[in-house]
Amino acid sequence: MLRRREFLRAAGAGVLAGAGALGFGGCGRAGGGPDGDLRIVLANHVWSTAIRKRIGEFEDLTHRRVLVSTMTADQLSSTYTVKLNASAPDVDVMMYRPLQEQLLFARNGWLADLTDRVGADTEYAWPDMQAGVRERVTTEGRVFGVPIVTERPTLYYRRDLVPDGRPPATLEELFQTALRLHDPAAGLTGFAGRGQRNGAVSMFSSYLYSFGGDFIVDGRSGIAAPEAIAAYEYYGRLLREAGPLGVSNMSLEQITPIFAQGKAAFAIDADAVYRNFVDPATSLVGDRTGFAPFPAGPAGSRPFNIPSWGLAINAFSERRDAAWEFLRWATSPTTVLAQQRDGVPGARTSAWQDANALAAFPPDLAASMAAGSATGVPRDRPDVVQVGRARDIVGRPMIAAILGEDVAAEARDASSELEDFLARDARQRRI
């Protein structure tokens, strides 16, 4: 096994030298035990695609074979729930969503405590991780994961359709322009955005914050406050009057092709997946797509800025030391810099300060990312243990708004439900 200093130096040199193909060049033994193959489960994501190209380097450095499984986000959560409930040791490294799963997983004792590991290794440079994202992988003062991808919402727009090439700077301007360009008869939607009750909550959060609201305020429900109701009404009207048919059933997977096929003038979604919107292989409008910061609402532009994904170690793994070696390699300063130079937005401050790393993104996208990082809120959903249930609750007024129903009444009813939920959640939070 490599000493820490040797390992980090070798990992950095190997990553910056070039990308290796996924292979099994190591000589680790298959099967269980500390010397067995390292088993990693990843989500279908641009970060996963990028790191898989380099895993051969890690195998060469550690002389250990790596087995990788890739799943959708929903499949990932289901797999973890089944395996970790059974204390299964056959997953070592877990790609997970800190804001969605950390409180629950940590409370259940499913995640290895990484506090001493990240704190004792000066070359790993834990303080180089952005302060907000470090906060999101820390529960009751203990670190349970390492952030790998950050994201903020960005405004995707058709430069050929926007007057004078100037994107909307405010939410009101966005609504008026989207409504004017909305022409379903001609096959053009003014705005493509998430409308699915649960799946849209994270993207809706930026509208809520920019109207001056929040999901939870001082431990109590905030979704019936005037600011929250105004945000719900705005978002619902935008999707109802300028969005595609069936929008209340749409998430990222549905709106991306709408925009990429030239059927939408505007879209707002995560900047980390921008390539899905502009990839020449799938997009008809990639060469005409511009990027802009999240438009300002009554409270200014307050988008989320979060670690959308992280890596954690299964508490039941027999290869926790080897798993930590992988985390150190995959999230070291040099690896993150290399990934960011390839267009994957990471969590380290040093990478964001590197001119070559920013050059990997279109200039207007880099400017949008910088703006979102400066004013961003480090959460995009209620900060609770049972996140899925909370998202269903706070998504109720949004669906009412999209359908043109009484938003205020729905918000009051949902707020009462959220109050009861928060009382139960408070009793579950301790680990």
pLDDT tier, 132 (very low <50, low <70, confident <90, very high otherwise): confident
From CA 374, how far away is CA 145, in angstroms rounded? 24
In this prediction, residue 148 carries a pLDDT of 96
Model pTM score: 0.85
| Whether pLDDT at 22 is above 50 | no
| Whether pLDDT at 396 is above 80 | yes
Structure tokens at 199: 């799946």
| Whether pLDDT at 17 is above 80 | no
In this prediction, residue 392 carries a pLDDT of 97
Whole-number average pLDDT of the chain:
91
In this prediction, residue 18 carries a pLDDT of 35
| Whether pLDDT at 29 is above 90 | no
pLDDT tier, 428 (very low <50, low <70, confident <90, very high otherwise): confident
| Whether pLDDT at 2 is above 70 | no
Structure tokens at 309: 């994904």
Question: Are 232 and 397 contacting, i.e. CB atoms less than 8 angstroms apart?
Answer: yes
* C-alpha distance from residue 408 to each of 132, 175, 226 (Å): 32, 21, 9
- Range of lowest pLDDT (31-40, 41-50, 122-131): 31-40
In this prediction, residue 431 carries a pLDDT of 66
From CA 134, how far away is CA 348, in angstroms rounded? 10
pLDDT tier, 16 (very low <50, low <70, confident <90, very high otherwise): very low
From CA 431, how far away is CA 427, in angstroms rounded? 11
State whether the Cα torsion 268-269-270-271 is positive or negative. Answer: negative
* Higher pLDDT, residue 394 or 356: 394
pLDDT tier, 24 (very low <50, low <70, confident <90, very high otherwise): very low
The percent of residues above 70 in pLDDT, for the chain, comes to 92
The residue-averaged pLDDT of 168-185 equals 97
